[in-house]
């Protein structure tokens, strides 16, 4: 039995791998490439220069690869690249890159994008991230690996979020969030470490080291980048060094409450 529904429209030039299924009234454009064992549900639109890996599940009414929501876009050659084993739920909107941002939007592997998620142009999404319903990422946002973004949370353009960070639901984020940290609020500020997330991946001794680093960085009232530089030079923890290197290179600043 064919895996392509008779009412689906697949333009000449599209490349579909083995065991790709396409549901009723879906549309797949001529420049689209879809890897093995990926399913495309009914009424989904996939167009533009879009490459999708293996074992992805794309649910109904998703719009994948449609042109960027950027007034400067003028038909340039841009693309969207999606890795393997991602789940893309209903009404998700994924835009390709723009010439001014590197021309590529890239999604890694093993991510869950819940309903109505939007990834804007030139977004870079790592691996094993969870974006809850209604999370919206503006252009040029970059997320590391194992990041969780709560529902109905908008993220400002050019924001960078490090590995294992979590952003609480119904927040509004306009600055960078370092690895391993938890942020929440409108506007979102740091609330501590993302202990629930990192306990699944990090040994207790390392967590205690991260706790001490967090206190030194954000709770003792000393200049943030000076403390980060000191920890970079003195700490033996790779994760503390990752945290401090992120802070040193942040362009939008870190949102936290000064206590002194």
CB 118 within 8 A of CB 105: no
Backbone angles phi, psi at 21, to 5 degrees: -110, 140
From the candidates 65, 101, 120, 121, which is the catalytic residue? 121
Strands 63-64 and 45-46 turn out to be parallel
Please list the residues that pair with 213 across neighbouring strands: none
CA distances for 221 relative to 208, 224, 256, 258, angstroms: 20, 8, 11, 6
- Helical axes 238-249 vs 204-218, angle rounded to 10°: 30
Q: Is 115 a catalytic residue?
A: no
- What angle (nearest 5°) sits at the alpha carbon of residue 119, between those of residues 114 and 120? 160
Q: Is 43 a catalytic residue?
A: no
CA distance 192 to 185: 13
From the candidates 70, 122, 163, 176, which is the catalytic residue? 122
Q: Is 139 a catalytic residue?
A: yes
Closest residue by Cα to residue 227 from 178, 184, 182: 178
CB 89 within 8 A of CB 115: yes
From the candidates 134, 139, 150, 197, which is the catalytic residue? 139
CB 53 within 8 A of CB 35: yes
* Catalytic (active-site) positions: 121-122, 139
């Amino acid at each position: 039995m064919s895996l392509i529904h008779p009412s689906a429209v697949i333009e000449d030039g599209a490349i579909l791998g083995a065991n790709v299924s396409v549901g009723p009234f879906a549309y797949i454009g001529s420049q689209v490439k879809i890897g093995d064992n990926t399913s495309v549900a009914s009424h989904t639109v996939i167009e533009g220069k879009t490459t999708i890996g293996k074992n992805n599940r794309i649910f109904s009414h998703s719009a994948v690869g449609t042109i960027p929501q950027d007034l400067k876009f003028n038909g340039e050659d841009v693309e969207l690249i999606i890795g393997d084993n991602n789940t893309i739920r209903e009404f998700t909107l994924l835009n390709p890159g723009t010439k001014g941002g590197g021309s590529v939007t890239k999604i890694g592997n093993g991510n869950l994008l819940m309903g109505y998620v939007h990834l804007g142009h030139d977004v870079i999404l790592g691996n094993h991230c969870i974006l809850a319903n209604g999370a919206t990422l503006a252009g040029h946002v970059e997320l590391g690996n194992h990041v969780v973004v709560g529902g109905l949370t908008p993220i400002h353009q050019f924001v960078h979020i490090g590995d294992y960070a979590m952003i609480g639901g119904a927040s509004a984020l306009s600055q960078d969030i370092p690895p391993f940290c938890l942020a929440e609020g409108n506007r979102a500020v740091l609330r501590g470490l993302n202990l629930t997330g990192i306990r699944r991946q990090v040994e207790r001794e390392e967590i205690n080291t991260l706790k001490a680093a967090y206190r030194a960085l954000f709770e003792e009232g000393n200049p943030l980048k000076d403390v980060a530089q000191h920890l970079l030079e003195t700490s033996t923890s790779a994760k503390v060094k990752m945290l401090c290197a992120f802070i040193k290179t942040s362009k939008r600043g870190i949102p936290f409450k000064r206590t002194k």
